[in-house]
Amino acid sequence: MHSLDYVVVFQLFVFNSGTIRQMWKQYACIFNSDLHTKSNSGLKRIIWIRE
């Protein structure tokens, strides 16, 4: 189960970048969708944006 890791990474990403809070809903949808399909693409997108 990597769902917990997804949540932790996503939360840290959002909290570390206040400007991203405005896009929370947008990425939350992608994030939740990827978790539902058990895909790691959501995490990859989050890391890419963070970089």
Helices (H), the chain: 3-16, 24-36, 41-50
Q: Which residues contact 40 (CB under 8 A, 6 or more apart)?
A: 2, 34
pLDDT in tens, 1-51: 455 455 545 555 554 555 555 555 555 555 555 554 444 555 555 544 444
Spatial separation of the C-alpha atoms in residues 42 and 6, rounded to whole Å: 8
Length of the chain: 51
Give me the amino acid identity at 5. Answer: D
Spatial separation of the C-alpha atoms in residues 23 and 20, rounded to whole Å: 5
pTM to 2 decimals? 0.18
